[in-house]
Amino acid sequence: MPAIKYRIRLTQDERKELEAVVTRGSHRSQKVLSALVLLNSDEGPFQTRRFTIEEISAMLQCSQMKVNRVRSRLAEEGMDVALNGHKAQRVYNRKTDGISKRI
């Protein structure tokens, strides 16, 4: 596994937002998993214990690459992309035009 490239330091407001995703409401499972990864990856003053990537992946039963991807998305693209992922870039051609003809 490569060395830690991104160090995550969350503010108190960011931690509250992530904790709200984890504890309240109904969210997609991948969004909750990403929020848990970010909460456990925090190295800021509001985190009581530091976890390694191996510990986080074992605790959440996900791959170490998932942990690295979520951390890199937060560092490079922000909180929204880290939680929700990228919007699809592919453009699909229509198979029908939506007009129905009756004979």
Task: For residue 70, give the nearest of 39, 27, 28, 103 by alpha carbon.
Answer: 39
Task: Report the chain's terminal Cα–Cα distance, integer Å.
Answer: 64
The whole-model pTM stands at 0.78
Following DSSP, what letter does each residue of 21-76 receive, concatenated? Answer: HHHSS---HHHHHHHHHHHHHB-STT-SS---HHHHHHHHT--HHHHHHHHHHHHH
**pLDDT by residue, tens only, the chain of 103 residues:** 556 678 889 889 999 999 998 998 788 889 999 999 999 998 888 888 888 899 999 999 999 999 999 999 999 998 889 888 888 888 888 777 666 666 6
Helix axis angle, 53-60 to 29-41, nearest 10°: 150
